Chains A and B, each alone.
Chain A
Amino acid sequence: MTQTRSLIDENGKRTDGRTGDQLREIKITVGVIKNADGSAFIEFGMNKIVAAVYGPREVHPKHMALPDRCVLRCRYHMTPFSTDTRKNPAPSRREVEISKVMREALEPSLMLEDYPRAAIDVYVEVLQADGGSRCAGITAASVALADAGINMRDIVSACAAGKVDDRIVLDINDTEDKEGDADMPVAYMPHLEQVTLLQLDGVLNEDQFNQCLDEAVKGCKMVYEVQRKALMQKYFGNETELKEEQ
């Protein structure tokens, strides 16, 4: 990763005009896919991602069923038109890996033991990709799981932090991901205070590592507020404010 230009200007503003501790604009809409048991559409900066949950339902093929718990299946997929150059629709190694880490990020939050011999399928489709699509995908998937009424211990909120121009900043965008020094996506369960996804690309020293982790967790808590509001909006609508007061 070579630095070609300054990514933070003299006023501390980033390429998209944000300050270091600011998230991009997040909008979550719950229940956008009518056929699904649960769904969510997230706009996270330029990311546009739809997540749909089907299940608990019968497992096909049947031999995949587990006798004591539910099988969770996840697919992260990018549409061919979601990136600058057309992406081949066949699953890449990157998508296979993200599908796996996404499943592992969501699984600790679910009470899979409540649905033995069944399957829950989570489909995450990236319609438009910006930096941080795995975090946005996890965030949307967790909301969709809640919308599907799956028994959960907590919501999973995800957000990345990273190092740009030797500064730790929150919520890396596409340019910062490509030209910056480090990117650390984190998924976090805000009430259980547990990290369910942690990755790092790029070089950090120990102080920066700790600072980056703290910053990302802070971001996850902000993302959580948006998730909660979106779910409240769907289920309580105009009474949301009334419920919040109680």
Chain B
Amino acid sequence: MSSSRRSTIIVEHLRKQQMWDSISKGKRLDGRTLDEIRPIEFEVGLIKKANGSARVKLGNSEVVAGVKVETGEPFEGLENKGALILSAEVLPTASPYIEPGPPDEETVELARVVDRGIRESEMLDLSKLALIPGEIVYVIFVDCSVINADGNLFDATSYAAVSALMNSKLPVFEIRDRKAVDTGEKQNPPLTTVPISITAVRIGESVILDPTAEEEACMDARITITTNSDQNFAAVQKGSTGAFTVEQLKRAAPTARIKGEEIRAKLRESTKAGK
């Protein structure tokens, strides 16, 4: 059951006031402008046992993602397609407020929003990943672990998952006696586009990009918009307990497109360098 909760981080009233004052003057507490995204670092291929991997640092938020490939049965209703299964986990290493245990609703939402961006943009052409349609297909696991949490986990996790997939090499399976056998060869995954998510939050009347944990503790509402390489919108998720006006949303859309393109270029550059 979903329940209202106190914020995990408690920001003092004075600090909050300071943040509001600063944001109303167009500058944030860490010195960024309202639409400035924290520095991003990508490292790919660091996990040799995975078929693909990436570590992304977005400011102090840090996520490791790994791709593992197996064969298995297709999903019901999608018999002719490979199966993509994305999970996300916020590890207890990530912050003093996180305890081990089954995923809470925020983590479930995180996994589903990252999954939606990759699935709806059709980043992976899953129709090319069926071995015997209806029986045996590729099953691609993308598992994301947040190892340090400092806000905007949606984007950090999404960039990690996308770069891990771009870094991945799939094993080539052959069908012998209606069974999938690993030939030991590798192939590139059938990638079609690079989905990039951009998260903005509203604090008072200002909308800021890439919030830190402290800013998230003060936010009124959040919006995550995922664009594909053609700069179309593939997925959106509004979150948190506040609301947006239609105008604010219509302004957020082109911002996500433009900023997304900048990050897409960076991500492409870094995943190439790691191969």
A residues with a Cβ closer than 8 A to B are 2, 64, 66, 69-75, 85, 93-94, 96-97, 99-104, 107-108, 112, 121, 184, 189, 192-206, 209-210, 213-214, 217
**Could you tell me the distance in whole angstroms from the C-beta of B7 to the nearest C-beta in chain A?**
11
Q: Flag if B111 contacts A93 (CB, 8 Å).
A: yes
> Could you say which residues of chain B place their CB within 8 Å of the CB of A210?
250, 253
With A201-B120, A203-B121, A214-B246 given, is the CB distance from A103 to B4 under 8 Å? yes
In chain B, what residue has the closest Cβ to A200?
B236
Q: Flag if A108 contacts B243 (CB, 8 Å).
A: yes
Q: Flag if A74 contacts B6 (CB, 8 Å).
A: no
Interface residues in B108-147 by Cβ distance below 8 A to A read: 108-109, 111-112, 116, 120-122, 127
With A198-B244, A214-B246 given, is the CB distance from A205 to B239 under 8 Å? no
Q: Flag if B246 contacts A192 (CB, 8 Å).
A: no
**Interface of A: prevailing SS:** mixed
Which 10 pairs between the two chains have the least Cβ-Cβ distance?
A194-B243, A200-B236, A99-B2, A198-B238, A107-B241, A75-B1, A73-B3, A103-B2, A196-B243, A100-B2
21 A-B contact pairs sorted by A residue (CB < 8 Å): A72-B3, A73-B2, A75-B2, A96-B108, A97-B112, A100-B109, A101-B109, A104-B238, A193-B246, A195-B244, A196-B238, A196-B243, A199-B236, A200-B235, A201-B235, A203-B233, A203-B234, A206-B233, A210-B250, A213-B249, A217-B246
Whole-angstrom CA separation of A213 from B248 in the bound complex: 12
> Could you say which residues of chain B place their CB within 8 Å of the CB of A194?
243-245
Interface residues in B1-25 by Cβ distance below 8 A to A read: 1-4, 6
Whole-angstrom CA separation of A75 from B109 in the bound complex: 15
* Residue B223 at the chain A interface, CB threshold 8 Å: yes
